[in-house]
Amino acid sequence: MAILRGGQGADDGFFQRQQSRTADFNAGDVGVVPKTLGHYVENVGDTDLIFLEMFKADRFMDLSLSEWVSNTPPELVMAHLGISRETLQAIQSKNP
Of 45 and 59, more confident: 45
- CB neighbours (10 Å) of residue 77? 19
Instruction: Give φ, ψ of 11 to 5 degrees.
Output: -115, 125
Residue 53 has pLDDT above 90, yes or no: no
**Which residue is catalytic, options 53, 67, 75, 86?**
53
Q: In the annotation, is 42 catalytic?
A: no
pTM of the model: 0.55
Tell me how far the alpha carbon of residue 95 is from its chain's centroid. Answer: 15
Mean pLDDT for 28-34 is 83
- What mean pLDDT do residues 69-76 have? 86
pLDDT of residue 94: 63
Cα(23)–Cα(30) distance, integer angstroms:
11
Amino acid identity of residue 87, one-letter, is: T
